[in-house]
Amino acid sequence: MCLGVALLVLLGATSGASNAVVATAPQQECAAGDAGCEADVPPFVPSDTWQEVLPGQIVPPSCDLRIELETGKEFARNKPQGPGLSEVTEAEELDPAEAAARDLKQSAKMYEILMGLPEPPTELASPGIADLTQEELERLIQQQWERRQAHLKETFEDNVATEQEMLQTNLKLLSGLSSPKDDEQLGYALEELEYLVAQSDNARTVANLNGWSSIVRGLSAPTDSVATAAAWVVGTAVKLDDEVQNAALDANAMAQLIALLPQGGTLDSESEPSVQRNVETVTKATFAIGHLLRGNRRSQRLFLESGGAELFREGLMQGNLTMSGLSVAATEPEFRKTVGLVSKVLALITDLLDDATTLPTLVSELTGNRWCEVVGNVASVLPVTSEAGADNGSFAITRKVQELSMQTLLALLAKAPDAPGCTAATFSHGMTESLEKWFEVWTVEANQPGDDGEYPEQLAELAEKLLSQAAAPR
């Protein structure tokens, strides 16, 4: 379990100064024959010393439970007798440099998880964080992390059942419900599951409880809200965990998620799928597919075999859903939602191209001239934004997708086997003119006094790199 996920284990309990957090062990009951009971796991016998808790073992409520934030491993022991029990077990003292490095690592993991949420905190997405000192940024990340933990705790603190019981109950509930008849109950169960599977131990337990089939079945629900919630559960559960990724793939999650995507560029009465999903559903499906693809070659093969790369290119990037959303005013909610969807696609493509473990066949598919043309075409229709008089939310999100589009284009131009062809395709739909306008606006803003010009200057440098490639002889 990675550090960031381990921090989710205890609601509201984060520590920048220790490696372990102690909590009262939850009551876990597992009757014979229950789903998830592990017959081959030896019983946990508590003692006065810390012992590792193996997956499937039951920890009595008379024990303390300790989670090592660095490894995610759980340990338990009998509660010490008498007063003076400390909530935090002090780790071996580190020298200042090691402590600072550990704290920085923890902050980085918190930031990674927060920004990986389908709706990341706006405070962390703001370009203004570039102006913060390291200490200010770490403090902001900690505040946003604690805010999310407080929200989760407030949502579920009235439920006295253990997480294991909650997980099992909601999975059983899902198996007996159907959409649209039971949409309200399905929505509630999926919302709780999304919270629970953010903890990797719970995400792994879903397979032991035979729960993946019920979650994946929700992806094909006729109601957008149910399909959206199911996709969110998948994306949250599989993040950064190869074991959970493969369990979801075993349940046919990839095929069901791809079925949620727009199936072509221009749809007509014959080719249009029976159900056209809204932008929120498609965004959550893209979120889930992205976390299945990152670092998992089996998932990448299934994606290719299902025509996923072409659907991303023609259905998502060039489809009616995206093009219509980008055509409205930047202040419209539809524009913001569409830009959020495009951002996820661009970030995923760039990550896959930058990852040396990505399947060569997938890299080849993503670096064809058609991809260069499509990304350039989408980027060229993004509006020229100026901070003066701009809506703050629209301004920030447009700047972000402009930055992502330039990073993706630079990655494509660097990896494309046909570099001249990719260059010609990239700048074939007015991308040069768009970059020149962006560069002009950002250069003016970069020359403003103080630190306000740092981010525009970075954007201007990216635009200049691309323009230099457009001007290079082909």
Q: Give me the pLDDT at residue 301, please.
A: 97
pLDDT per position as a tens digit, 69-84: 555 567 777 766 543 3
- 3-class DSSP assignment, residue 20: strand
Q: Considering just the CA atoms, what is the radius of gyration of the chain in Å? A: 24
State the sign of the Cα–Cα–Cα–Cα dihedral 14, 20, 24, 26: positive
Higher pLDDT, 390 or 123: 123
Which phi and psi (to 5°) does residue 264 adopt? -175, 175
Least confident of 99-113, 176-190, 289-303, 328-342: 99-113
Distance (Å, whole) CA 421 – CA 373:
10
Angle at 194 between CA 222 and CA 117, to 5 degrees: 100
Q: Give me the pLDDT at residue 235, please.
A: 95
Distance (Å, whole) CA 460 – CA 11:
42
- Report whether pLDDT(1) > 50: no
- Number of residues written out for the chain: 474
Q: 67: part of which helix (H) or strand (E)? A: strand 63-68
Local confidence band at 18 (pLDDT 50, 70, 90 cut-offs): very low
Measured CA distances, 119 to 114, 337, 368 (Å): 9, 11, 31
Least confident of 227-231, 238-242, 303-307, 339-343: 238-242
- Report whether pLDDT(4) > 90: no
Q: 43: part of which helix (H) or strand (E)? A: none
What is the percent of the chain with per-residue pLDDT over 90, rounded to a whole number? 40
Q: Determine contact, residues 445/399, Cβ cutoff 8 Å.
A: no
**Minimal CA–CA distance to 291: which of 113, 129, 146?**
113
Distance (Å, whole) CA 397 – CA 219:
28
Distance (Å, whole) CA 77 – CA 52:
9
Distance (Å, whole) CA 236 – CA 425:
36
What's at 344, amino acid-wise?
Answer: K
Distance (Å, whole) CA 61 – CA 396:
49
**Minimal CA–CA distance to 191: which of 162, 228, 153?**
228
Q: Determine contact, residues 253/216, Cβ cutoff 8 Å.
A: yes
**Minimal CA–CA distance to 197: which of 244, 155, 128?**
244
DSSP secondary structure letters along 171-228:
HHHHHT--TTTTHHHHHHHHHHHHHHTTSHHHHHHHHHTT-HHHHHHGGG-SSHHHHH
- Report whether pLDDT(357) > 60: yes
pLDDT per position as a tens digit, 131-160: 888 888 888 888 888 887 777 666 545 443
Q: Give me the pLDDT at residue 423, please.
A: 93
Q: Which two tokens stand for residue 224?
A: 């957008």
What's at 154, amino acid-wise?
Answer: E
- Report whether pLDDT(453) > 90: no
- Report whether pLDDT(85) > 50: no
Distance (Å, whole) CA 420 – CA 263:
30
Q: Determine contact, residues 48/78, Cβ cutoff 8 Å.
A: yes
- 3-class DSSP assignment, residue 413: helix
Q: Give me the pLDDT at residue 244, please.
A: 95
Least confident of 37-46, 49-58, 230-239, 414-423: 37-46
Give residue 29's region: left, alpha or beta (phi > 0; psi -120 to 50).
beta
Give CB contacts under 8 A, 24+ apart, made by 437-441. 437/384, 438/384, 438/402, 438/463, 439/463, 439/464, 439/467, 441/384, 441/385, 441/386
Distance (Å, whole) CA 419 – CA 413:
6
Local confidence band at 211 (pLDDT 50, 70, 90 cut-offs): very high
Higher pLDDT, 348 or 85: 348
Residue 181 is classified by DSSP as: T
Least confident of 12-16, 34-38, 183-187, 393-397: 12-16
Distance (Å, whole) CA 57 – CA 65:
13
Angle between helices 369-380 and 392-415 (to 10 degrees): 160
Higher pLDDT, 58 or 68: 58
Q: Give me the pLDDT at residue 100, please.
A: 73
Average pLDDT on 360-367 reads: 95
pLDDT per position as a tens digit, 389-398: 445 567 788 8
- Give percent helix, percent strand, percent coil of the chain, each to the nearest 5: 60, 5, 35
Higher pLDDT, 454 or 369: 369
Higher pLDDT, 106 or 467: 467
CA 169 to chain centre: 26
Sketch the domain layout of the chain as residue ranges. Answer: 18-92, 303-471
Distance (Å, whole) CA 304 – CA 42:
42
Rounded mean pLDDT of the chain?
78
Identify the top-confidence range among 53-57, 215-219, 331-335: 215-219
Q: Give me the pLDDT at residue 471, please.
A: 67
